Structure 1
Amino acid sequence: MKASPQITSKIVELCETLVSDAEVQSAREKAEAFLADESAVSLYREMATLGRSLHQKQHHGEEPTGEEVSRFTDLQDKCEENQAISSFLEAQDILRGIAEVVNGYVGKSLERGKVPTEAEVFPQGCGEGCGCH
């Protein structure tokens, strides 16, 4: 289904605002700098791959060896110390947060048929169904 011209126009306007926002631009620059740093990308990829492998092992009832856990911990430490990786993760959090805000408002608007308040989109407290009651 195609959106109406009015909706499309507002979406384009929102996108123009997003790409011109200083915080978004900075986050994108950090992400691009990380992607241009082959050693940082390689280190991060190695840590992520090993992490998935260890997770799969545990999921299948196998225990990771002490050597595997030690290697993963070492890779995590190296990633945390790497400025390009730290900046990339910070940038991801910023961009993900903005996407959550946009999706939250749009989703609630479609769900409720009215423009939601911030409290409706992001309620305070845990609410029902969170598992803590």
Structure 2
Amino acid sequence: MTASPQIKSKIVELCETLVADTDVKNAREKAEAFLANESAVSLYREMATLGRALHQKQHNGEEPSGEEISRFTDLQDQCDANTAILSFIEAQDVLRGIAEVVTSYVGKSLERGEVPAEAEVFSKGCGEGCGCH
């Protein structure tokens, strides 16, 4: 890593804060509980694998069979009813959201040479140069 010692120190401090955060801890616990649940992992993996296969079929101009669509719908319904899977998805959303906030702040700081305002990081706009501003 080519960052200065001061930057490295702040990165370590941020990581320490992240791993100590209650929301992060809860999300990690939910994710770990899901990963320890073999039946939930298997169900989720089967649904995801079939979903990718159906998507690939459509991408190749093929139509999935009614049986394939029915199987996928059944798997989706089972996943939607599985609390371990729902908790895992919620945990992923929490962790992904935190990572996006960190990335946004750091990226905008490097890009602009100043710390961005919170509104700049959390705005839903499409960015500069798109013609909508």
TM-score norm. by structure 1 comes to 0.93
Shift, 1:121, TM fit? 1.5
What residue number does 2:90 align with? 90
Q: Structure 2 matches for 1:1-133, cutoff 5 A?
A: 1-126=1-126, 129=130
In structure 1, C-alpha distance between the alignment counterparts of 2:124 and 2:65, rounded to whole Å? 42
Uncovered stretches (5+) of structure 2, i.e. residues with no partner: none
Secondary structure class of the residue paired with 2:115: coil
Coordinate RMSD, CA, aligned: 1.6
Deviations 1:33-91 (A, max 9, x none): 00000000000000000000000000000000010000000000000100100000000
Deviations 1:82-101 (A, max 9, x none): 01000000000000000000
Shift, 1:122, TM fit? 2.2
Q: Could you tell which deviates more after superposition, 16-25 or 116-125?
A: 116-125
For the structure 1 residues 14 and 29, does the alpha-carbon distance in structure 2 shift closer, same or farther, using more than 3 Å as the test? same
Shift, 1:120, TM fit? 1.4
Q: Could you tell which deviates more after superposition, 114-123 or 66-75?
A: 114-123
Uncovered stretches (5+) of structure 1, i.e. residues with no partner: none
The structure 1 segments of at least 4 consecutive aligned residues displaced by more than 2 Å after TM superposition are 124-130
* Amino acid corresponding to residue 72 of structure 1 in structure 2: F
* Amino acid corresponding to residue 107 of structure 2 in structure 1: G
Secondary structure class of the residue paired with 1:61: coil
In structure 1, C-alpha distance between the alignment counterparts of 2:21 and 2:10, rounded to whole Å? 16
Q: Could you tell which deviates more after superposition, 120-129 or 61-70?
A: 120-129
For the structure 1 residues 68 and 29, does the alpha-carbon distance in structure 2 shift closer, same or farther, using more than 3 Å as the test? same
